[in-house]
Amino acid sequence: MIMHYLLTLPYITITLLLLSYTRAKQFAYYFCILFIGILCNIPFYHHLSLNDLTYSITSNLSFFTLILCALLCLEILQFKKKKIFFISYKGYLYIAFANLFFYLCFLNIIPLNIYYTDHTYTILIASSIIFISFFFDKIVSLAYLFCLFAYNLGLFEVNNIFDYFFDVPILIATLIALCIKSFQKIKK
């Protein structure tokens, strides 16, 4: 049931990202957080809220998605020029590639049975993902490390570590972020 309310966080992040391009005042940011938090949880269609409808499409979000949304919200709400949690272009490339690879393995398009392997091998694969991500971006590596920590604590009701690391919404979000960063590079 906690996941139901955590689905509000991506909507808040998208709204804050849109507000950051309009250069709105600080009050507008906090008002939008409150407004989106209420809007996403009020039932409006057959006693279903926006979070219920989103859950029926995306299922559980990964812990990595929640961390990334929280980092983006913190970065936007700083209201300063210095960005602390900035993820590099290489970091987004790594996230997109890793998510795409594991999603294709899950669909059995790439015939590697990574998702349903033994628990020891999944821990080894997850640790190697964290180790390799350190060479691309340190923030991404720390986010994956927090996912491993959350898996060890058993914060979600899922038993597979890859459910903490990968999901389709983060794949779509990183592909969009890569497109935006590519257009910004071309624009310069």
Contacts of 78 (CB under 8 A, 6+ apart): 84
Q: Fill in the amino acid letter for 135.
A: F
Residue 156 CA to residue 169 CA, distance in Å, equals 17
Strand extents, DSSP E, 50-149: none
pLDDT at 111: 87
Per domain, the residue ranges of the chain are 1-59, 79-188
Q: What is the mean pLDDT of each run of 10 residues along the chain (188 residues)?
A: 75 81 79 87 84 80 86 74 72 91 88 86 92 92 92 84 86 81 75
| Three-state secondary-structure class, residue 94 | helix
Q: Residue 122's CB: how many other CB atoms inside 10 A?
A: 19
Q: What is the pTM of this model?
A: 0.82
Distance CA 178, CA 176 (A): 5
| pLDDT at site 56 | 79
| Tokens of residue 114, six digits | 């990574």
| Residue 134: per-residue pLDDT | 93
**pLDDT value at residue 80:** 58
